[in-house]
Amino acid sequence: MKTRPFAQIDVFTATPGYGNPVAVVLDGSGLDDAAMQRFAHWTNLSETTFVLPPTDRQADYALRIFTPGGELPFAGHPTLGSCFAWLAAGGTPQRADVIVQQCAKGLVPIRRDGARLAFAAPPVKLSSPSPTHLAQVAAALGLKSAQIVKAQLLDNGPQWLGLLLDSPDTVLALEPNHGRLVELKQKVGVAGIQPAQTAISLIAKSSREARAFASRDETPAVEVRAFAAPVGINEDPVTGSLNASLAQWLIDTGDLPARYVAAQGTVLGRAGRVHIARDDAGQAASTNSGQAASTSSGQAASTGSGQAASTHSGQVWVGGDCVGVIHGEVQL
């Protein structure tokens, strides 16, 4: 064991204790998979990360991401929190405007959005759940079929069954059977759009001025919850990867505007705020093979494995505030 710099960052909040914490080991060199997994299990946070030297010359640092139950190729709040910790510890990116993270999913650009950081959402692969599987998951959540407006399997590294429900109240009232979700091996992300936001979105489809108005509104447009019992977390407080997938899906369907704020963690006593913005200056691309990679414009290219990739008119960015809570050293 050796002494390693360590930080615990609260993500998607500016107030400690109201977001989603991530444990960041700022020097993961020399640690094997078992040691990383053991430490992640010990922290008992939804994710623990290990910063490493990059192997890709375009990247500023490499990151490995672990839940208590396994490694993830990509995750949102660990990406923002680890970048925040790396910068606070003196990390200097190759470019002033963009930090590039290397992870198992590929290269993930992260930009400074004022005081916030925002990552470029990797392209999401969409597919339809089978009616039988959807009915089993709905039963585990205590949902009636009429309460499910839309359903889609979402894969941007982490895989979720995304459910758009009929209201935020339905989202907040859920009491899932987590054991059954483990049996089904299914992580589930649910969203309910605020009624006022639904009206704005309908108008925005035909009004450029309404779209501009919606983009300035900082009131949460949607309530989100994430149930991840199959990886050891019954409910994740605030989830960047899920919000990224939901944004790509529901912006494309016209249910949400190109810029909005999502609330998550309410039931857990948190007040997470996820800031979504789609940059229509570029086109997200997909390929038939390979991992996600950063293009020269800072956008991510897709991986392909037989499922449909999301094709939308621009890059979705997922941002949030970060605040340091613990700074010190670990023996690891």
Residues classed as catalytic: 47
Enumerate the H helices of the chain as residue ranges: 33-43, 76-88, 131-141, 168-173, 178-184, 195-204, 208-216, 240-252
In this structure, are strands 159-165 and 300-301 parallel, antiparallel, or unpaired?
A: unpaired
CA distances from 167 to 5, 88, 173, 241 (A): 44, 39, 10, 22
Amino acid type, 208: R
Whether the CB-CB separation of 318 and 75 falls below 8 Å is answered with no
Return the number of other C-beta atoms located less than 10 Å from residue 32's C-beta. Answer: 8
Q: Give residues with Cβ within 8 angstroms of 132, minimum separation 6.
A: none
Q: Tell whether the torsion through CA atoms of 138, 140, 192 and 160 is positive or negative.
A: negative
d(CA 72, CA 240): 13
